[in-house]
C-alpha cells in the first residue's frame, strides 16, 4: 500500500508540473513593420518560359501581366512600381552583347485602378519587344532566338520604403499564393 501511495504521489506531481505553462504575450502584429508587394494576378503561375517576344516582330509582340499592388492599407501608400532591364546574350554566335541593368519603366500609382473584388489597385503592365530593345540600347541584329531580357521590379511606397526581390522573403517572391517574384524573364523566340 505504501508503494501505491508513493507512485500516486509521484504521478500527481508529474501531472501538475507537466501542465505548468509559461504565459507568452501575444505579438502585436499591427506594431510590426510592414511593407508591400506586387502580386501577379494573371498569368498565374509565372514560370521562366511564361513571357516571350518574337525576334521576327519585336515591335508587334508584347509581354504583359495583370499586377496588383498589395499593402496593409489596401494600396493607399503605394507610390510606384519601377523597372530595370538587362539583356542576357545566350547565343555567342552573333557576338557577346550582354547589357547590365538599365532604367526601363515606372508605373505610378495613378496608373492602377481599385479592383472591385479585392479592393487593391490593379493594372496591366508590360512592354513590346521593341521597347525592351530600346531600353537595353540594342539593335535587332544584336539579339538572337534563345537570348533573354530580364526585368526586375521595385515597389516604392509613399513613406520612402521600397521592396524588391533582394529584401523580400521567399514566401512572397516564390510562394504560390503571393506570386510576387519582382522578376520577369522575357525570352526571345522565333
Q: What is the pTM of this model?
A: 0.80
% of residues, the chain, pLDDT over 70 = 84
| Coil, strand or helix at 135 | helix
Asked whether 145 and 188 are in contact (CB, 8 A), the reply is yes
Reported as a pLDDT band with limits 50, 70 and 90, residue 33 is low
Q: Which residue has the higher pLDDT, 72 or 31?
A: 72
Number of residues that make up the chain: 190
Cell of 174: 516564390
Tell me which residue of 161, 132, 163 sits closest to 61, measured CA to CA: 132
pLDDT recorded at residue 18: 54
Q: Which residue has the higher pLDDT, 158 or 8?
A: 158
Tell me which residue of 88, 46, 86, 87 sits closest to 63, measured CA to CA: 46
Q: Which residue has the higher pLDDT, 3 or 147?
A: 147
Neighbouring C-beta atoms of residue 113, cutoff 10 Å: 9
Q: Give the model confidence (pLDDT) of 98-153 as tens digits.
A: 999 999 999 999 999 999 999 999 999 999 999 999 999 999 999 999 999 999 99
Give strand ranges (E) for 31-169.
Answer: 37-42, 51-54, 62-70, 78-88, 99-108, 113-114, 121-128, 148-157, 162-163
Q: What is the enclosing helix (H) or strand (E) of 183?
A: strand 183-189
Q: What is the mean pLDDT of residues 63-91?
A: 96
pLDDT recorded at residue 176: 72
Asked whether 35 and 156 are in contact (CB, 8 A), the reply is no
Question: Is residue 16 scored above 70 in pLDDT?
Answer: no
Give 111's DSSP letter.
G
For domain 36-189, the question of CATH label 2.60.40.1930 is answered with yes
Question: Is residue 81 scored above 90 in pLDDT?
Answer: yes
pLDDT recorded at residue 178: 81
pLDDT recorded at residue 180: 87
Q: What is the mean pLDDT of residues 164-182?
A: 85
Amino acid at each position: 500500500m505504501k508503494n501505491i501511495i508513493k507512485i500516486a504521489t509521484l504521478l500527481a506531481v508529474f501531472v501538475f508540473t507537466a501542465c505548468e505553462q509559461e504565459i507568452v504575450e501575444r505579438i502585436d502584429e499591427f506594431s510590426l513593420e510592414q511593407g508591400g508587394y506586387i502580386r501577379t494576378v494573371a498569368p498565374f503561375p509565372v514560370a521562366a518560359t511564361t513571357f516571350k517576344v518574337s525576334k521576327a516582330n519585336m515591335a508587334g509582340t508584347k509581354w504583359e501581366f495583370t499586377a496588383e499592388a498589395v499593402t496593409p492599407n489596401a494600396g493607399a501608400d503605394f507610390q510606384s512600381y519601377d523597372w530595370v532591364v538587362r539583356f542576357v546574350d545566350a547565343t555567342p554566335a552573333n557576338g557577346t552583347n550582354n547589357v547590365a541593368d538599365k532604367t526601363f519603366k515606372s508605373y505610378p500609382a495613378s496608373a492602377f485602378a481599385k479592383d472591385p473584388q479585392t479592393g487593391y489597385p490593379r493594372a496591366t503592365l508590360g512592354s513590346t519587344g521593341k521597347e525592351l530593345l530600346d531600353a537595353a540600347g540594342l539593335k535587332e541584329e544584336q539579339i538572337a532566338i534563345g537570348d533573354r531580357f530580364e526585368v526586375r521590379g521595385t515597389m516604392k511606397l509613399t513613406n520612402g520604403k521600397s521592396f524588391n526581390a533582394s529584401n523580400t522573403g521567399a514566401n512572397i517572391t516564390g510562394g504560390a499564393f503571393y506570386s510576387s517574384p519582382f522578376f520577369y524573364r522575357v525570352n526571345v523566340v522565333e
